[in-house]
Structure 1
Amino acid sequence: MKTDRKEPPTVSTGNGLKITLLSLHGLIRVHEPELGRDSDTGGQTRYVLELAEELGRRDEVREVELITRQVIDRRVDAQYAQLEERIGEKARLVRIPFGPKRYLRKESLWPYLELFIDQALVHFRK
């Protein structure tokens, strides 16, 4: 049986995969993540960072974005206010502002998810 097997897309052909990961809750930063600060900064924080980094190493992947929420709050490190951090050569952390600027627990984010969608669409259209 003959199959028309195509090679996976590669960066060199310019049509590699663009992967977007969403992790809206907690405090996510590339260097020295604050694991265990509260119930929203546990293992998932580390997992999504590692996933973005590993996906960015794959030949068939052109770009990886890990999207999270921008936090501007004097009670947390100023790094969470930066709009972007580089994770690896093809991976980056993008912080999108939505809702109040201060840090919110995940249970408090629900009323602002439509704002996130609007802001994410603006980001994707750039």
Structure 2
Amino acid sequence: GHFGMPHMDGKPATVNQYQYQDREVITAMIPGRKIALITYNGWDKVCNLVHQGRNAEAEESTVLYAYRKRIEKNPAIELMISVMLHSTDGGEWTEEELSPIKEIRIMDVMPSHSVLGAEIRLADNRTYIIDFKDIDGYKSC
């Protein structure tokens, strides 16, 4: 998560949204700071809203968030994948910066035999295995 982007001197953050084939992106920027929320899997949409009285630097702030409406009772397990970027560099985000994940391979059963996970390859070719095997502690049957 993140704090809202403060509306310094009453000036709101600049918010942009982008739709790509494999992801949805929303960005917010104020002078000297920018954030990006990138959703890849499992979310319905990305949104923003303005809060009042919840930021230490300004009365109003802009918050980015991802949204998923669950309408089924006990829906099937679905992996929800998102990336949050923060930067103090000036200027707009580049398309390269807004493309941090090169490949997602979702696995119904992981090598550890846990249910649902993924192998994620980043744009710089680093690879991470996302395995929830012991997410609820070190239990064994």
Q: TM-score normalized by structure 2?
A: 0.26
Write 1 or 2 for the structure with the bigger share of strand. 2
Larger radius of gyration: 2
Q: TM-score normalized by structure 1?
A: 0.28
